[in-house]
Amino acid sequence: MIETERLILRPFRESDAADVLEYLHTPAVHCFACMKLDSLDEAKAEMKKRTEDELYLAIVLKESGKVIGEIFGHPEGTDPEDEVMDTFSPCWMLNLEYSGKGYAYEAAHAYFDYLFREKGIRRIYAYTEDYNIPSQRLCERLGMRREGLFMEFVSFINNPDGTPLYENTMQYAILKKEFL
Ligand SMILES: CC(C)(COP(=O)(O)OP(=O)(O)OC[C@H]1O[C@@H](n2cnc3c(N)ncnc32)[C@H](O)[C@@H]1OP(=O)(O)O)[C@@H](O)C(=O)NCCC(=O)NCCS
């Protein structure tokens, strides 16, 4: 569990299902389209899967206990053959009812601190689509450098005619020595 001034970051519980359904019923961005949940039962099943993952954390408001978002990711090697898993690419998402209050920054900053200090992570990078200005601003507030723009890098959804909708993706990153 990670505690900040206003938030607790903790593993998910089955009882979080209704709060998560609130924001994953209609994922706010294409990159999370595959995470869409259609019912409370689906949300409960999803919570069960998440409880087993120590780096999949709920962002919880201290004052009410409400789950207002999530942050997650998995350690990676620098290449597929690498046994040293010291690279990490987090994903973050808020219930947009709670955006514009600094909660995402507060959560991500504490998560980065935990990854660098306690989980042996050396480099954190984040992908964000070129139109996702809130996510880019968050990366920049966290001190991440913009490292590149990959044109038509990925497709999460199709165009109305069934062809893949390719998106332009920005990469941001920060090293442990830069963050600390
Ligand atoms: C990306 C995302 C997490 C960013 O959320 P956010 O609310 O913009 O970020 P924060 O919670 O850190 O809030 C920052 C804003 O709150 C404002 N703010 C208000 N009160 C504040 C306070 N007490 N402390 C800090 N900031 C505060 C800041 O000025 C800032 O506003 P600005 O961006 O207009 O300057 C959110 O837009 C989201 O979940 N989007 C959908 C999912 C998504 O896109 N994920 C990323 C995929 S790549």
Residues 54-65: tens digit of each pLDDT: 999 999 999 999
The Cα 9–Cα 135 span in angstroms is: 19
137 lines ligand 1 (CB under 6 A): yes
Please indicate whether residue 105, judged by its CB atom, sits closer than 6 Å to ligand 1. Answer: yes
Task: Report CA 45 to chain centroid distance, whole Å.
Answer: 20
Mutation choice for ligand 1 from 31, 35, 94, 111, CB with most ligand atoms inside 8 A: 94
pLDDT value at 8 more than 80: yes
In the chain, the amino acid numbered 116 is F
Residue 32: what pLDDT? 96
Angle, CA 141 vertex, CA 57 and CA 105 arms, to 5°: 30
Rounded Cα distance, 86 and 83, in Å:
9
Sequence spans of domains, the chain: 2-179
Q: Which residue, judged by its Cα, is nearest atom 16 of ligand 1?
A: 100
pLDDT in tens, 129-168: 999 999 999 999 999 999 999 999 999 999 999 999 999 9
The yes-or-no verdict on residue 97 having pLDDT over 80 is yes
99 lines ligand 1 (CB under 6 A): yes
Mean pLDDT within 20-40:
97
**Ligand 1 near 94 CB (within 6 A):** yes
Q: Which fold has domain 2-179?
A: Aminopeptidase (3.40.630)
